[in-house]
Amino acid sequence: MKIIAIVSGKGGVGKTTVSANLCAGLRRLGKSVLAVDLDPQNALRLHFGVSPRHVGGLARAVLSGDDWRSSVVQGNTGDYVLPYGSINEGDRLDFEQDLRENPTLLRDQLALLGLADDCVVVLDTPPGASVYLTQALAAANAAVIVALPDAASYATLPKIMSLIKQYCSRRKKFLGYLLLINQVDRVKQLADDVTDMMSAKFGKKSIVLIHQDQAIPEALAYSKDLQEYDPLSRGAHDVKLCVQAVERLLNSDTVGVAAL
């Protein structure tokens, strides 16, 4: 089993959409995939066509002491997802306290799911530093940093990289990271410049791009896999390259985090 943490330094970068498209792409490569939502917004399930009325999830399972397997659902896209769950504010604070008191809770619970050896677990996390990010990075074999080609995303990269180094660099099973620049529009001068700056800083081997494409939000609106909705779109092409890059990283022998 390999675990990928999808992380970002700021919100609004399309991280949950990226997580869902990665899951769909990996499944198309024949992988067994489980999407896990660690974000209290509980939005990842919607990308798999799970009903908004569905309330179950990992947070409710932890608080009630239930087996996480009972909270895994299959969406209409064919992918399996473990939602965060619908809980009130008091329960959210209690759940986060449980995560603080047990730093390996996520990793331990995933091990108990009995997933196939070739399974890939994709963890969607909230933006910035949080107890959810700490849990995800402590369990992950790889990380995908999602950023926009703008100044705000560029400014948050050092912080998110420092967190990856802190929680991952000394673990033998951590294979490395990719920087995914999302919603790239080369026509816009600032976006073009920031994309080039990020590429120069990280190196081309660690960078993947997803260009701005209306087919991506449209596929979500119709609760469809992007490859099914518009396989010839620029977005579908970019996601396919991104999935291939993630697969290469998971199959690599390179261990550790390169310094910025």
**What's the predicted TM-score (pTM) here?**
0.94
Question: In the block, which residue shows the tokens 């000394």?
Answer: 170
pLDDT band at 149 (very low <50, low <70, confident <90, very high): very high
CB 208 within 8 A of CB 241: yes
State pLDDT tens for residues 220-256: 888 888 989 999 999 999 999 999 999 999 998 654 4
The pLDDT of residue 260 is: 34
Closest CA to 48 of 224, 240, 221: 224
> Can you tell me the distance from the alpha carbon of 13 to that of 39, in angstroms, rounded to the nearest whole number?
14
- Supply the mean pLDDT for the chain: 92
Range of the domain at 245: 2-250
> Can you tell me the distance from the alpha carbon of 152 to that of 159, in angstroms, rounded to the nearest whole number?
12
CB 198 within 8 A of CB 147: yes
**258 falls within a domain:** no
CATH classification at residue 226? 3.40.50.300
The pLDDT of residue 254 is: 53
**256 falls within a domain:** no
Domain total in the chain: 1
**257 falls within a domain:** no
Q: Where are the beta strands (DSSP E) in the chain?
A: 2-7, 32-37, 73-74, 80-82, 119-124, 142-147, 176-184, 207-211
The pLDDT of residue 174 is: 95
- The partner residues of 143 in beta bridges, in order of sequence, read 5, 177
**117 falls within a domain:** yes
